[in-house]
Structure formats: structure tokens, C-alpha cells
């Protein structure tokens, strides 16, 4: 098994939230990490703070040319190889079915599912060459019903199904495919979606903590640890690893 310190890792959506946490985790272990994102200020800030081990690429996973540029940058930064692709970039749109905007729905699917699939395709030969791994970022939304979250939940369910299909398809080529399913973690995407759009955002999210069996929200570092495990575990593929503090147990004392 290749040590983390020798790995080349591409993390999409690496400019904030869980993606930034994953990038920091792998960089701290000595990996060469390339992060991508649509906002130059975000990804450049993270890359600068992490030093020479991290490289930033500005790009949108829904654009074919950008996907190729991300892959090429990661391979170059990784001294000619790519070991791990973390498909973390995503978009969230909330609203009841009666008010669903078709274009916004398509945008969510294009970002969360189609972009991730096509970036996996762009990186595939490099991952075959390294006997590498793809890790998708799922969500507890695929398992628990949160009214108004149908577009996001549908994309995360699609990614989890895709994980098994690609694991079976790519396993003979030596590529492992897995998915992490986080529970409640405070990230910037929650704020951008308007879930917590005032000064009491964190307190509102914290109010959900009792629904987790452990009585607290998760941290981006805890999600990053799960990603590392799936990136390294040589006999693990096709898995959807739930890291949700017991939210899926249906605790009723919330």
C-alpha cells in the first residue's frame, strides 16, 4: 500500500468546508494535494495556507475543459501520477416540489452527479495506472427525509448507487470506488443554500445535535479521516461509509 506521504490527491470543492478539511488532512500527512473550485480567492487562500504540498486550480467540474485541466494539474503536481480522486464539489438547492425550478434542478444534477462522473472519466487512466481510488461525497439526505431537500437528496442517492456500479466496473482494472455519507457537519454550503442565513446560523445547526446518538455535530476532520481510510484500504470498494454520529439511528430525544 502506497504511504499517504507518497500519494497524489485531487479534491474538488477544496476551497471550503469538507473539501478544505480533506485537503488539510492529506497535506498534513505529506501527500501532494491539488484542490479545485470555482472561486479563485477561496482555493488560492487554502493552497497558500498549506504550502508547497498543495496546489490550487480554478475550475468548474461541469465544464469539460476545466475537468481536463484539473486532472492534468493534479498529475503534474503529483510528479506524474494520481492516486486518489475525491469528488467532493457540489451544489445545493432547496424548495418544495410545487415551486421547483427545472433549471436549478438541472444545475444541481450537473454539478453533483454528472460533473463527478465525467471528472472520474477524465482521471480514470491515471487511476488505473496507480491502482488508485475514487471517493464520492454522499449525504445522510439519501437516507433521511428532509422536506424541501428533494433535489439534493436525489443527487446524493444517485452517487451512492453509482458507487456500487463503478466499483464493479472498475475493480478488474484495480480502481477502488467508495463513498462517504456524512451526517450533520457545519459547512459553508449550508449557509449558501440559505438554511442558516442569519447571525444565529451555528446555533440553529447545533440545535440538531441531539438527533445524533453522540449528541453533537461532526467535524470536517472526522469526515477527512473516513476519506483517508477509503483511499488507503486495499480491499474496500463499493462501500458507502456512514459517518453521522448515529443520526441514522433515528434518535428521538431531539
CATH number at residue 92: 3.40.50.720
Q: What is the pTM of this model?
A: 0.91
- What are φ and ψ of residue 132, in 5° steps? -90, -160
End-to-end Cα, the chain, rounded Å: 42
Q: Is residue 200 part of a domain?
A: yes
Q: In this predicted structure, what is the pLDDT of residue 142?
A: 65
Instruction: Point out the least confidently predicted range of 150-164, 173-187, 202-216.
Output: 202-216
- As a whole number of angstroms, the distance between CA 39 and CA 188 comes to 13
Each residue's pLDDT tens digit, 71-128: 999 999 999 999 999 999 988 877 888 888 899 989 999 999 999 999 999 999 999 9
Each residue's pLDDT tens digit, 53-79: 999 999 999 999 999 999 999 999 999
With cut-offs at 50, 70 and 90, classify the pLDDT of residue 139. Answer: confident
Each residue's pLDDT tens digit, 146-177: 776 788 889 999 999 999 999 999 999 999 99
Residue of 26, 93, 109, 152 with catalytic role:
152
Q: Is residue 248 part of a domain?
A: no
Please state, in angstroms and as integers, the Cα–Cα distance from residue 149 to each residue in 24, 91, 93, 105, 156, following that order: 29, 12, 7, 11, 11
Residue range of the domain that includes 71: 4-242
What distance lies between CA 123 and its chain's CA centroid? 16
Q: Is residue 249 part of a domain?
A: no
Active-site residue 93, yes or no? no
Q: Is residue 172 part of a domain?
A: yes
Give the number of domains in the chain: 1
Q: In this predicted structure, what is the pLDDT of residue 159?
A: 96
Q: Is residue 86 part of a domain?
A: yes
More confident residue, 201 or 12: 12
- As a whole number of angstroms, the distance between CA 64 and CA 126 comes to 17
DSSP 235: T
DSSP 244: S
More confident residue, 3 or 65: 65
86 closest CA partner among 41, 37, 39, 23: 23
Amino acid at each position: 500500500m502506497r504511504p499517504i506521504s507518497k500519494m497524489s490527491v485531487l479534491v474538488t470543492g477544496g476551497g471550503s468546508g469538507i473539501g478544505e478539511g480533506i485537503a488539510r488532512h492529506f497535506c498534513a500527512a505529506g501527500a501532494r494535494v491539488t484542490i479545485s473550485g470555482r472561486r479563485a480567492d477561496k482555493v488560492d487562500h487554502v493552497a497558500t495556507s498549506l504550502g508547497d504540498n498543495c496546489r490550487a486550480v480554478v475550475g468548474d467540474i461541469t465544464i469539460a475543459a476545466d475537468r481536463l485541466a484539473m486532472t492534468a494539474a493534479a498529475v503534474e503536481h503529483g510528479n506524474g501520477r494520481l492516486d486518489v480522486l475525491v469528488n467532493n464539489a457540489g451544489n445545493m438547492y432547496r424548495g418544495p416540489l410545487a415551486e421547483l425550478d427545472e433549471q436549478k434542478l438541472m444545475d444541481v444534477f450537473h454539478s453533483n452527479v454528472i460533473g463527478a462522473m465525467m471528472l472520474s472519466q477524465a482521471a480514470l487512466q491515471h487511476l488505473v495506472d496507480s491502482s488508485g481510488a475514487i471517493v464520492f461525497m454522499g449525504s445522510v439526505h439519501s437516507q433521511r427525509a428532509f422536506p424541501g431537500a428533494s433535489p439534493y437528496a436525489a443527487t446524493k442517492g444517485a452517487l451512492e448507487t453509482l458507487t456500487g456500479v463503478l466499483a464493479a466496473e472498475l475493480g478488474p482494472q484495480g480502481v477502488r470506488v467508495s463513498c462517504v455519507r456524512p451526517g450533520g457537519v457545519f459547512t459553508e454550503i449550508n449557509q449558501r443554500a440559505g438554511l442558516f442565513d442569519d447571525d444565529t446560523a451555528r446555533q440553529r445547526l447545533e440545535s440538531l445535535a441531539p438527533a445524533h446518538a453522540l449528541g453533537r455535530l461532526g467535524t470536517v476532520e472526522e469526515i477527512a479521516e473516513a476519506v483517508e481510510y477509503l483511499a488507503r484500504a486495499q480491499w474496500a470498494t463499493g462501500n458507502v461509509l456512514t459517518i453521522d454520529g448515529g443520526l441514522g439511528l433515528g434518535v428521538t430525544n431531539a
